[in-house]
Amino acid sequence: MRKTRRGKEENKRKIERSQPPAGARVYRASEKMDKEKKAIERIKMASEMSLHHYGRPLVCTYSGGKDSDVMLEIFKRSGIPFEVHNSHTTADAPQTVRHIRKVFSELELQGISCEIEKPTYKGQPTSIWKLIPQKLIPPTRMVRYCCSVLKETGCKNRYIATGVRWDESTQRSTRTEFEKIGHTKDNRENFTSLMLMNDNDVRRRMSELCMQKKKMVVNPIIDWKDRDVWEFVESEKIETCELYKCGYDRVGCIGCPMAGKKRYKEFADFPKYKQLYINAFDRMLKERKRRGKECKWTTGEEVFLWWMEDKNIPGQMSIEDFITEE
C-alpha cells in the first residue's frame, strides 16, 4: 500500500500536535522524564513479583502498535529480564505482521525470548473467519468474542504488561496500574502503586494472588496521553508500523467494530479482508439455517452492510435479536 500524500500530512500533523510551544518545552521534558520514570518503577515492581512468585520473567505483550513499541523501549531501559509475547489475531494488516516479525527478529538477536501465539478454540486452530460461523453472530462492540478468543487467552499463569492507557477510551479509563484479570469485571481486582506502598493488607492480597499464579497485569504507561506516546516515539527515534504513515491512527484488527467508521478506509485499502468477512458471514448464515436459527438476511453481503452500520438495509436484525436467542 502506497504512503498517500494525505497519510504523510496526517502523520506530520500528529508530530506537530505532539510538539509543545517553545515556552513549555522545559516543562514537557521534565514531565516526559517523570512519566518514563514512573513507567519503569511499575515495570520493576511487577518484575520483582513475577520472579519471586512465578519464578519466571515478566512478559511484555506486543501488538505491533505504537504503544507496544514505546513500552518495549521502556522495558529495555528498565534493565529487568523479560519475555515478549504476541497474540496472532489472524485479522492484522500485512504491514503489522511484518513489523512484528521484524521487531521480534531483532529482539531474538539480543537474546530476548519472543513468542507469536497462534489462536485456538475448543482445542483446535482457529481464526476470526472460522469463529464467526461457530459463534453464529458477527463480532460487535457488545459481543467481543474475538478479543476473548484471539487476544486474551495467552500467557496463562503469568505476570504480564500491557500498553493499556486511560486516554484511549472511557472503558479503559477505569483500569489501574496493577490488576488481577477475571472473567468478568466483578472478578477483576485493582491495585495502585500508592496502595502497594502504603497498605500492608493490599500488599498481602497482591502477594496472595501471585502465589496462586493468577494472571496478573501491570499497565506501565496507563497515564500516558497520545501526545506523550508520539513525543517519545519522535524523541527516541523509535521505528513504528508503516501504517501510521498511511493515514492510520490505530494499528489493530482490520474491521474491528471498535474502529467505527474508520473501517471504511480499512476495507478500501484491504478489499481482500472485506471479502473474507463476507464469506464468513455467508457460512454463518448457512450454519444458522442448519441449526434452525431464525434470520432475516439471505446473504453475507447483507450482513456486512448491517455490520458496517448501514441504516438503509431493510428488515435488518438488531444485536439484541442475536443475543436473546443465544
Q: What are 162's strand-pairing partners?
A: none
pLDDT of res. 172:
59
pLDDT of res. 28:
61
- Top pLDDT among 137 and 157 is at 137
pLDDT of res. 202:
45
pLDDT of res. 1:
58
pLDDT greater than 80 at residue 267: yes
Which three three-digit cell numbers place residue 153? 487467552
What's 312's DSSP letter?
T
**Is residue 307, in this structure, part of any structural domain at all?**
no
pLDDT greater than 60 at residue 86: yes
Give the Å distances, CA to CA, from 307 to 60, 173, 296.
33, 27, 14
Place of cell 521487531: 103
Q: pLDDT for 117-155, tens place per residue?
A: 999 999 999 999 999 999 999 999 888 899 889 988 888
* Confidence grade of residue 23 (pLDDT, cut at 50, 70, 90): very low
Q: If we measure between CA atoms, which residue out of 160, 190, 163 comes closest to residue 177? A: 190
**Is residue 59, in this structure, part of any structural domain at all?**
yes
Give the residue numbers spanning the domain of 19: 5-127+154-246
**Is residue 104, in this structure, part of any structural domain at all?**
yes
**Is residue 33, in this structure, part of any structural domain at all?**
yes
Q: If we measure between CA atoms, which residue out of 158, 150, 183, 189 comes closest to residue 55? A: 158
Distance (Å, whole) CA 127 – CA 91: 8
pLDDT of res. 148:
87
Distance (Å, whole) CA 225 – CA 161: 18
**Is residue 147, in this structure, part of any structural domain at all?**
no
Query: What do you get for the CA distance between the two ends of the chain, in Å?
Result: 40
Domain count, the chain: 1
| Percent of the chain clearing pLDDT 70 (strictly above) | 72
Q: What is the mean pLDDT of the chain?
A: 81
Pairing between β-strand 124-125 and β-strand 120-121 as defined by DSSP bridges: antiparallel
Which three three-digit cell numbers place residue 97? 505482521
pLDDT greater than 70 at residue 42: yes
pLDDT of res. 175:
74
Q: pLDDT for 192-226, tens place per residue?
A: 554 444 444 544 554 555 444 467 888 999 899 99
**Is residue 313, in this structure, part of any structural domain at all?**
no
User: Can you give the CATH number for the domain in which 14 is found?
Assistant: 3.40.50.620
**Is residue 279, in this structure, part of any structural domain at all?**
no
* Confidence grade of residue 18 (pLDDT, cut at 50, 70, 90): very low
pLDDT greater than 60 at residue 2: no
**Is residue 16, in this structure, part of any structural domain at all?**
yes
Q: Tell me what the mean pLDDT of segment 249-258 comes to.
A: 91
pLDDT of res. 235:
92
Distance (Å, whole) CA 319 – CA 326: 11
